[in-house]
Chains A and B, each alone.
Chain A
Amino acid sequence: MSYQLPKFRHPELPKNDLGYTKADYEGAISTLCAGCGHDSISGAIVKACHELSIEPHKIAKLSGIGCSSKTPTYYLGKSHGFNSVHGRMPSVVTGAAMANRELLYLGVSGDGDTASIGMGQFAHVARRNLNMVYIVMNNGCYGLTKGQDSATADEGSMSKKGEPNPFSAIDLCATALQFGATFVARSFSGDKTQLVPLIKAAIAHRGFALIDVVSPCVTFNNNKGSTKSYEFVREHAEATGAVDFVPMRKEITTDYKPGYSHEVTLHDGSSIHLYKLEQDLDPFDRTSALLAMERHRAAGDILTGLIYMDKASRDLHEQLETSRRPLSQLTEEDLCPGNQMLKNINASLR
């Protein structure tokens, strides 16, 4: 009997610019239920970070409580990590990000962790436009506590227990938009071709980037009647368009039909290429994004892809004009420059 991940890897695994293979971004073997959508999202995170050649020690992965919040153990085994309390991941990230602005903050949460106990935290971290990636592994239930309906379960949707959910659902993308998020996307754990470039774009975006990823819970919510099952999502997903993340210095090789494509240059010089399928959506316009979401909700399908992006996003550090050097690197001398400096400041205010 064995349930261990073998050490051998494919001998010709591609190496990234740092000389690392995908294996260098993996974590421990998953202990989630076999077939859980969360594992695929972990796989997408590994792939995105590897392909972007991010140094593993420059990443901090944080989470709350839930099956989804357990996943940081299963990826980025060489990065920093913090498994916080239920619903409190945003405040821990805020603290960490204020202290050290040089790390990439990758928050992972569940629909329970975010839309119930953590709703207040979620609202404020979005509002403050903290520079982070916030991934919700959304399965419409509390997986870890045996499948109770969560606040994102659609009205009428049925989990394994067989009772239709009487309440209306919270749409995390719509609420995030209203709270002030500057990057909003939705995806599906079973569609890595869409998810991986979205994660890359969210990483490159400066500001709060939410990706709400529908992620079926095979054990409690993958039955007939559930709107978060593999089958239902596959049948009802409608993509806003294709996203191509183009890292800085790399040429765009895909040909897009003119008029349908947008190119957006991000802060670090990389760009994303959007190939629109949804003609009535302007992803750079909040009203258009909200309307598109509402239209699809009414039609009973799930709009996926990049929904909104604020090209002029100013993150929390920019808004507060904090020191460029991370707080964590400032010495006592920097912070208490002495009596003379105080006198100068006082004098300047007279």
Chain B
Amino acid sequence: MKPTDTSNPEYFHKVVDCQYACPAHTPVPEYIRLIAAERYSDAYMVNWESNVFPGILGRTCDRPCEPACRRGRVEEEPVAICRLKRVAADNKDKADIASRMPEIPAEKNGKRVALIGAGPASLTVARDLAPLGYSIDIFDNQNAGGGMMRSQIPSFRLPAEVLDEEVNYILDMGINATFDIEVQSLREVLDKGYDAVFVGTGAPRGKGLNLPGLEDAAEHVHLGIDWLASVAFGHTTSIEKKVLVLGGGNTAMDCCRTSRRLGGEDVRVVVRSPFEDMKASPWEKDDAMHEGIPIYNNHVPKEFVIEDGEFKGMYFEKVMAEYDPDGKRSLVPTGEPLVFMEADVVLMAIGQENAFPWIERDLGVAFDKWEMPVVDRNTFQSSNPKVFFGGDAAFGPENVITAVAHGHQAAISIDLFCQGKDVDERPAPFTSLLSQKMGVHEWSYDNAIETDKRYAVPHAPLDKALSDRMLEVELGFDRGTGYKEAERCLNCDVQTVFEEARCIECDACVDICPTDCITFVGNAEEEQLRHSLTAPAGNLAQDLYVSEDLPTTRVMVKDENVCLHCGLCAERCPTSAWDMQKFLYNVTKAGR
């Protein structure tokens, strides 16, 4: 193998598993250490810079970082990264945070940008461009900012105050926001002479199921996302006793849990797929079941049942999942008789779609055969160079953190475009690499490895939670538990940096490493090398760190997979050929 090029920032970035997996690349271990040091406002700002909505995401994020977390590879469960973010948000000093918000120049730079939709994607663009002097107009058809974070995510998961606070940090940056306005023509917007337009209108259309009986049952059947929005805005305040929720994603989980709070007694989730294949996050399924909601899997909806003009319920066909050799799934009927389930009302939560009826097709914005805009994956520019897309509007429904990541990149492009620069010349990330050595046995990070198991977040008592849809269910970690959970983090950003010129090949690092990461061995191709290491190196997603040739003609090979970042290799190296160095990686933002 070729020696590892550690001057490429992506090498060490990848070692920080959580940050690498985060769409916005939040410097996770950096904020976790700040939480452990009780510097909550600092921890909040590290988050805010990168993901814009720490309080919101600390409660609702899809947390792609957690399955990636290294801790999950050395013991059962990853660090509770997401809920630690909430600890920072809950304990920060609000006045302090307000004073740290970027200054908005009184004199503008003369460029005007329109943002359509006020969801997380647009708000991120606003956050990045306003401090640079752009004049920003936001248009949204809801009565307040936040997009689906307001209309879809129920208050028992995300209290309105938390949402308002973080949306307002942005709207207070001199943004000109117009609510309750439906944008009906992109041409009209462009005609107003904006220098750039950002489309962040999400994926606002719920999918339905056209089954026999639907026409007669129509008034008892609602689209999940429309129903949730109507609850969020106070138009719907109750529901019938018997509720069937169709679908296995997070929308289904929010529909069923909201139903329980509005009067639903026999609330069931019915899903076509096997339980394990459901799209909903495992913790959402757990929470729903904890609230007394059974999940019927392998049931395909067949028919709405009407008797004597009255809606009675639905028929389902039982199926079995079968997988072909390529792992492709098909749902095969078991042949059992159809299952009947009684219902007063059905909520359909089987997916969302994009819809752009308001974008004229002669404006140079190309659409593909699925009626999706053609958008560049890096620049977020459409085929009309003035028009940018981001969030769910760009490539279909995702989540808040993805919308934020898109927003940052789109803001960079809009800034480059407005300054007459090439949008493809992306600025490099900001990085730094700094030794953490303080003295013998002394490092500036807490290198002891705690063995505590993951702490569970406490919940409000069930009866209280179910009687008030506004009551937040999760109570969050208190400071003490937050500290203990923070101590579980392995500080993966403190990198093991090897300097071959210093190594005397004494093997001390090999002998001490608790997880057998290091081997000195003759060089070979990666596949062969992976078989000649001290411990199995079968996780191909994790890199091998390979040195230049050493005097004995061997090379040092470190399998990054289960390194604990304990620093013992550096501690035991007589020549400091190993050093522990903190690698900070910040995605560049517009204007930097």
Which residues of A line the B interface, CB within 8 A? 1-14, 29-30, 33-37, 39-40, 42-43, 189-190, 192, 216, 218, 222, 230-231, 234
Contacts and interface: CB of A to CB of B under 8 A. Distances in A.
Nearest to A7: B451
A52 B505 CA distance: 27
A13 B568 CA distance: 19
Given A5-B568, A12-B535, A218 B506 contact: yes
Interface residues of B, number: 36
Interface string B442-472: 1100111101000000000000000000000
B508 A3 contact: no
A234 B552 contact: yes
Given A13-B516, A35-B508, A8 B564 contact: yes
A144 to B, nearest CB: 17
A148 B575 CA distance: 23
A2 B441 contact: yes
Nearest to B448: A2
A2 B447 contact: yes
Contact of B508 (A8, A11, A34): A34
Nearest to A5: B514
Given A1-B443, A33-B574, A40-B511, A8 B505 contact: no
Contacts of B572: 30, 34-35, 39
A155 B568 CA distance: 37
A29 B508 CA distance: 12
B282 interface: no
B79 to A, nearest CB: 14
Tell me what chain B mostly uses at the interface: helix, strand, loop, or mixed. loop
Interface string B420-457: 00000000000000000000011100111101000000
Name the 7 nearest CB pairs between A and B, nearest first.
A35-B574, A2-B448, A6-B449, A43-B511, A10-B535, A3-B441, A35-B506
Given A13-B516, A13-B535, A35-B574, A8 B511 contact: no
A33 B538 CA distance: 33
Contacts of B551: 231, 234
B534 to A, nearest CB: 8
Contacts of A2: 441, 443, 446-448, 566
Given A34-B573, A234-B551, A190 B511 contact: no
Contacts of B516: 9-10, 13
A39 B552 contact: no
Given A35-B508, A190-B505, A216-B506, A8 B74 contact: yes
B448 A4 contact: yes
Contacts of A43: 507, 510-511
A92 B251 CA distance: 74
B148 to A, nearest CB: 39
A30 B508 CA distance: 10
A230 B508 CA distance: 12
Given A2-B448, A6-B564, A42 B511 contact: yes
Contacts of A3: 441, 571
B149 interface: no
A40 B520 CA distance: 13
Given A3-B441, A34-B573, A8 B449 contact: yes
Nearest to B504: A230
Interface string B271-303: 000000000000000000000000000000000
Contacts of B172: none
Interface in B468-514: 504-508, 510-512, 514
Given A10-B562, A230-B506, 5 more contacts: A2-B441, A11-B562, A13-B516, A37-B506, A40-B510
B539 to A, nearest CB: 9
B514 A8 contact: yes
B536 interface: yes
Contact of A6 (B506, B508, B566): B566
Interface string B503-535: 011111011101110000000000000000001
Nearest to B507: A40
A36 B566 contact: no
Most buried by A among B505, B551, B574: B574
Contacts of B443: 1-2
Given A12-B538, A35-B575, A230 B446 contact: no
A39 B511 contact: yes
B506 A192 contact: no
Contacts of A1: 441-443
A192 B507 contact: yes
A218 B511 CA distance: 16
A115 B205 CA distance: 87
Given A3-B571, A8-B515, A34-B573, A231 B441 contact: no
Contacts of A9: 514-516
Contacts of B514: 5-6, 8-9
Contact of A8 (B75, B507, B571, B575): B75
Interface in B67-83: 73-75
B574 A218 contact: yes
Contacts of A39: 507-508, 511-512, 572
Contacts of A14: 536
A12 B451 CA distance: 18
Contacts of B562: 8, 10-11
Given A35-B572, A218-B574, A10 B515 contact: yes
A12 B536 contact: yes
Most buried by B among A3, A7, A29: A3
A30 to B, nearest CB: 7
